[in-house]
Structure formats: C-alpha cells, structure tokens
Amino acid sequence: MDSTTLKVCRNQRIHNHKVFKGLAERGKSSMGWFYGFKLHLVCNEKGELLSFYLTKGNVDDRNPRHIKKMTQQLFGKLFADKGYLSKALWEMLFEDGIQLFTKLRKNMKNHIMKMEDKILLRKRAIIETINDELKNHCQVEHSRHRSVNNFIINILGSLTAYCFFPKKPSLNLA
C-alpha cells in the first residue's frame, strides 16, 4: 500500500489555476509541497493493482475511512511505508483480518517480527516501481488538464493501461 502525488500545476501557478479550483488542495509529501491530489494504491505480490482511491492533496494517508474502502475485500498481510504507521489503523485492520506491517520510526522500540515478514517488508519497493511506471510510462500525472472529466478519464486510462502491461514488477516467491 502506498500513495503518490498527482500535481495539477506548479506551485507558482496555484493562485491562477482555475480548472481544479475548489477540488484540488495543497499538500505536502516527502518531496515537498504540491497542489493537486493523491492516488492511493494497493497491489499484490505479482504487481497487480487490487484497489485505488483518489483524494485531495491534503488528506492524511492514515485516514481510516479511505483505507477501510480500499481494503474491504482484502485479507492477510498488508505492507506499507511509515506514512501508514498508526496504532488505531493497525487495530482497525486487524479486526478486519488484515495484519499491517510498516517500518518503525527512529524513536520507536523494535518489536519481534518473523524473518519472512521482514524480507517482504523490504520488498515493498514494488509499489514504488508501480507508481514510477504509472507516472513515467502511463502519464498519470500531467498539468495540461482542461476539465475535471479529462483528469478522471486520464487516471482511469492510465490505471487500465498499467493493468494490461505484459510484464509487471513482482516478487519471486516460488
């Protein structure tokens, strides 16, 4: 599970931007401030997309309502980055039969984890690769949208195109 930013314009043009006025919001990611939306994704070990959710740029990744919708049909283990680290989120997902694994922050105590779970947590880079392919090969993010409908169609088209890729990033678990 991970999220990626979808910038709709440069930061200098936020006040002049009219297409997404009232829809897009200013948010902050690890790469700095942006104006736009966040695309939240869940994938499996084969690199196949299981679920996605589009939110405004200022929405917290740990928002329980959004995560609940994305994980409705899922069970088992879910690996995410430190942005999803929350005890309340872990408990909510555990009640639904999902075990959430995240890396720990520097000031947190280490906890016991099975070796295979530690290895899978290190392989979480698959979703980062999927985000990169969506942005660079499928052009999910660009700043030339002239309508909201065009923006939505572009996102759906990019996600669909990715689903038809013959070779996706995956784990060799066999």
pLDDT digits (tens, 9 = 90+) for 68-92: 999 999 999 998 888 888 889 989 9
Domains and CATH numbers, the chain: 2-164 (3.30.420)
The whole-number pLDDT of residue 108 equals 63
Residue 43: exposure state from Cβ atoms within 10 A (0-12, 13-18, ≥19) = buried
Which one is predicted more confidently, 39 or 106?
Answer: 39
The whole-number pLDDT of residue 174 equals 55
The rounded distance, in Å, linking the Cα atoms of 44 and 66 is: 18
> DSSP characters for 75-126?
-EEEE--GGG--HHHHHHHHHTTEEEE-PPPTTSPP----HHHHHHHHTTHH
Q: Which residues contact 15 (CB under 8 A, 6 or more apart)?
A: none
Q: Provide mean pLDDT across the span 154-168.
A: 93
Q: If we measure between CA atoms, which residue out of 171, 159, 172 comes closest to residue 133? A: 159
Q: What are the two backbone dihedrals, phi and then psi, of residue 16, each rounded to the nearest 5 degrees?
A: -95, -10
pLDDT digits (tens, 9 = 90+) for 12-58: 888 888 888 889 899 988 888 999 999 999 998 888 999 999 999 99
The whole-number pLDDT of residue 51 equals 94
Beta bridge partners of 100: 78
Rounded to two decimals, the pTM is 0.87
